[in-house]
Structure 1
Amino acid sequence: MSTMESRNTLRRYFRNARNALSAQQQKNAAAAILDQIKLFIPASIKRAALYLANDGEPDLTPLIMYCWQYNIATSLPVLHPFTKKHLLMLNYTDQTVMRKNRFGIAEPALECQAIRLTVHHDVIFMPLVGFDKEANRLGMGGGFYDRTLANVCHSPLRPKLIGIAHDCQQTDSLPIQPWDVPLDAIITPTQIIQPNNSLE
């Protein structure tokens, strides 16, 4: 089996696993993930990029509400209108006008003045399909985050990159590709995994 076939097989397995979780399990996971994030991310951060859950992903609504409560500005990803398979980060508040993108996922309506550069975030929380004990991330296969964040690791203003997942999405070892953007940590309801070379 090729690396690509192996990755696609893992994607199907982990998507089925997270979609099999009950509504109560999802609710419990969302609360537990927020508790883990509070332990890991300093309260002094000014801006965080998050996502709206889809396809069984952990719900970050409690984290979004927490950020707003403590005056932490929030952004959401938007499909880039011109650059294929890239994302823009747009400011997100409870007043933001939303629309559905071509995948049926809600995102802020595109407004130039709402765009926030990736390097202007203290932390970027991103979904994933699978992960391993070295904090390697397996995405959905579109490469949106990998392309968008390809140069972030070389920026002097570097946000922390945090993957969010359910525990059922873990495997011992993932087949990694050269374009996979390394994460600083992966947070689940029960653990915080950091690679050995993670930046402090």
Structure 2
Amino acid sequence: MLTQPTDLAEWRKARRAELIEARQAIPVADRQAADTQLAEKLDATLGDVSGRTISLYWPFRGEPDLRQWAAACRSKGAALALPVVVAKATPLEFRLWEEGAKLERGVWNIPIPSDTAKVVAPDIVLAPVVGLDQQNFRLGYGGGFFDRTLAALRERGHKPRVIGVGYAQQRMETIYPHEFDIPMDDVAIVEI
């Protein structure tokens, strides 16, 4: 049985730094090959995406790059959205990302749709993981944005299918979840 660290915040911070460093050390060509496998896994998991709104993310710090997969989903009739940090300690906003739409720089210079883009409630949320435990709890960057967002959506009666996306090296036994952590419904994880 695992014993929770005395200082969980420090443990998570250290673990997060190790996992991000390890992910960024994976050669780009290996990540690209893994991203193709992730796309195939997502296709098998989701089936027909026509008429559904999928929230993905702009890849950051070695995260899987699923933009080509997303473009294929768009061509099959799916709508795409990107998450946007509106303010610290608040839920994310999902803005429609239409083909050819100009993107702006958001938090950490991550491209986001402009504030005039339509805000949507996605049917499917792809959540990049820094770490992922055996119960599908996600270790993210530490801002609590995804958990806060999922809780807010559920309060409004909307429960999207949430899929944690990453590489097998990001698996861990536990993140020692807090009471407010929300497990992913599914995971798309591939070996590199």
Which residue in the other structure is 1:50 paired with?
56
Give, in angstroms, the shift of residue 138 of structure 1.
0.6
Q: Which runs of 4+ in 1 moved over 6 A?
A: none
RMSD: 1.7
Give, in angstroms, the shift of residue 162 of structure 1.
0.9
- Return the alpha-carbon distance in structure 1 between the equivalents of residues 145 and 82 of structure 2: 13
| Counterpart residue type for residue 11 of structure 1 | R
Contact 1:163 1:185 in 2 (8 A): yes
Find the partner of 1:80 among 64, 75, 86: 86
Find the partner of 2:33 among 12, 28, 32: 28
Gaps of 5+ in 2: 1-5
State the Cα deviation string for residues 34-56 of structure 1 (Å, max 9, x = none): 11111111314511111010011
Which residue in the other structure is 1:61 paired with?
67
- Return the alpha-carbon distance in structure 2 between the equivalents of residues 153 and 108 of structure 1: 24
**Which has the larger displacement, 124-133 or 43-52?**
43-52
Contact 1:31 1:62 in 2 (8 A): no
1:6-155 to structure 2, matched below 5 A, reads 6-45=11-50, 46-80=52-86, 84-111=89-116, 114-116=118-120, 118=121, 121-153=122-154
Which residue in the other structure is 1:177 paired with?
178
SS of match in other structure, 1:57:
coil
State the Cα deviation string for residues 149-172 of structure 1 (Å, max 9, x = none): 113345544210111111111112
Contact 1:98 1:108 in 2 (8 A): yes
| Counterpart residue type for residue 61 of structure 1 | R
Question: Aligned pairs, how many?
Answer: 185
Which residue in the other structure is 1:195 paired with?
none
Gaps of 5+ in 1: 191-200
Contact 2:135 2:183 in 1 (8 A): no
State the Cα deviation string for residues 45-93 of structure 1 (Å, max 9, x = none): 5111110100111111122112112011100011215x74431111112
- Return the alpha-carbon distance in structure 2 between the equivalents of residues 17 and 84 of structure 1: 27
Q: Give TM-score scaled by structure 2 length.
A: 0.89
Contact 1:163 1:187 in 2 (8 A): yes
1:185-196 to structure 2, matched below 5 A, reads 185-190=186-191
- Return the alpha-carbon distance in structure 1 between the equivalents of residues 101 and 22 of structure 2: 32
Q: Give TM-score scaled by structure 1 length.
A: 0.86
- Return the alpha-carbon distance in structure 2 between the equivalents of residues 102 and 131 of structure 1: 23
Identity of aligned residues (%): 25
- Return the alpha-carbon distance in structure 2 between the equivalents of residues 74 and 41 of structure 1: 14
| Counterpart residue type for residue 95 of structure 1 | G
Give, in angstroms, the shift of residue 123 of structure 1.
0.7
Contact 1:30 1:62 in 2 (8 A): no
